[in-house]
A = this chain, B = another copy of it.
Amino acid sequence: MSTFGKLFRVTTFGESHCKGVGAIIDGAPPGMELTENDIQPQLTRRRPGQSKLTTPRDEKDKVTILSGTEYGITLGTPIGLQVPNLDQRPHDYGEMDIYPRPSHADWTYLQKYGLKASSGGGRASARETIGRVAGGAIAQKYLKLTNNVEIVAFVSSVGKVAMPFVHELEDEEPVSAEFYDMLNNISQEEVDKDITRCPHPETAEKMKETIMQKSAEKDSIGGTVTCVIRNCPVGLGEPCFDKLEAVMAHAMLSIPATKGFEFGSGFQGTKIPGHLHNDAFVRKEDGTLGTKTNNSGGVQGGITNGENIYFRVAFKPAATISKDQETASYDGAWGTLAAKGRHDPCVAPRAVPIVEAMAALVIMDSFLQQQARKASAALLPSVEIHHSLLGVPPKK
């Protein structure tokens, strides 16, 4: 359905050409300062038309908070958010509409619902992500204010051009010190310095070349987005079905055009032996435990351990290309779907704030769940607990 989360819940609505898109954010803690200014920047980062690398259509997504705040403070009640669609006409049928667009949702929507929005995008349109990004911005603000949680995503590859020292490379130690360094230090500002949203300048240059070339060829290309979450509290995530990485995978694969997700050492981690993969514990400066390496990606047994959470998301090449395509029409006749318009040759740069938003929703919801547990356990009278349950030796 159109709702994500258990205690911090985002419910979205809207297609490409309806009157507007938006969301209801339920469960935001009361007493937090919140205005449109906290939400608009991430929406603007998400917006197409920001550069020649992205689609030129300028949607000007201006968000309005309809409810849930007064005098700029959250009330704890549902926050209604809306962004009008500037082009509200249902699409008029054109010659090319006899073809379901390859690798789009036209045909599957028609199968699922018996009909589909007149413009192919419909609910599968990237416009649907506006509500998510808005909800994510609220979560990001809360997490930053209360736990200094920092969530930063960046483009780690475009086509075959990948940042060095990311964990895709073939070697024994899947994660390099340079990569760890970057995870520790990267900021949204740094990411936004380049229109590719790749923070490694040489790689960014090559990515631009690749994207421009695909654009010139009226083609598209995929890419990967890597995301790091710093200062995430320990203890988040539920054992069993709602392990943190499982919910994160759910969140990420729900973003349009995604094809893969890997966490910590990821696919590369399958290739190295256990003694190298295991993250030895070390005492941290503050006296608590941390891990020496971080192949676990900040999560062990589905539960955060306080180390950096990091993961990578695969985005396929955009299905909309400016090239003619041979394909069958709805009634099965083979023909040519003529291209029209110009299109975003690579969605990865625009996906960065969406990945951050979804990550924030996952952390926020897990945090609220764990707060319920922690606060309720804390009220129990102290009882003697067998040392085996506490990981300490028996008292002499």
Q: Which of A59-105 contact B (CB under 8 A)?
A: 64-71, 73, 75-80, 82, 90-93, 97-100, 102-105
Q: Shortest beta-carbon distance, A351 to chain B, in Å?
A: 12
Is A289 in the interface zone, CB < 8 Å from B?
yes
Q: Shortest beta-carbon distance, A258 to chain B, in Å?
A: 8
* Residues on the B chain within 8 Å of A333, using CB: 283
* Residues on the B chain within 8 Å of A184, using CB: none
* Beyond A103-B295, A282-B328, 9 additional pairs, beta carbon < 8 A: A1-B27, A4-B241, A18-B70, A32-B380, A73-B383, A103-B300, A159-B272, A243-B253, A246-B253
Q: Which of A135-154 contact B (CB under 8 A)?
A: 142, 145-147
A278 close to B383 (CB less than 8 A): no
The distance in angstroms between the C-alpha atoms of A13 and B68, with both chains bound, is 8
Is A396 in the interface zone, CB < 8 Å from B?
no
B278 close to A270 (CB less than 8 A): no
B274 close to A221 (CB less than 8 A): yes
* Residues on the B chain within 8 Å of A24, using CB: 2, 11-13, 24
Is A107 in the interface zone, CB < 8 Å from B?
yes
B70 close to A118 (CB less than 8 A): yes
Find A253's partner among B108, B118, B245, B376 (CB 8 Å cutoff): B245
Is A115 in the interface zone, CB < 8 Å from B?
yes
Q: Shortest beta-carbon distance, A366 to chain B, in Å?
A: 11
B316 close to A265 (CB less than 8 A): yes
B303 close to A105 (CB less than 8 A): yes
The distance in angstroms between the C-alpha atoms of A102 and B323, with both chains bound, is 52
* Residues on the B chain within 8 Å of A367, using CB: 376
* Residues on the B chain within 8 Å of A110, using CB: 390-391
Number of copies: 4
B282 close to A334 (CB less than 8 A): yes
Listed from nearest, the 6 A-B pairs whose CB atoms lie closest are A105-B301, A283-B332, A222-B270, A260-B262, A220-B274, A250-B250
Is A394 in the interface zone, CB < 8 Å from B?
yes
A109 close to B328 (CB less than 8 A): no
B3 close to A3 (CB less than 8 A): yes
* Residues on the B chain within 8 Å of A97, using CB: 388, 391, 393
Which residue of B has the minimal Cβ distance to A270? Answer: B222
Which of the 9-residue segments A50-58, A122-130, A191-199, A201-209 touches chain B? A122-130
* Residues on the B chain within 8 Å of A279, using CB: 102-103
The distance in angstroms between the C-alpha atoms of A305 and B105, with both chains bound, is 9
A111 close to B234 (CB less than 8 A): yes
Q: Which of A205-220 contact B (CB under 8 A)?
A: 214, 217, 219-220
B283 close to A66 (CB less than 8 A): no
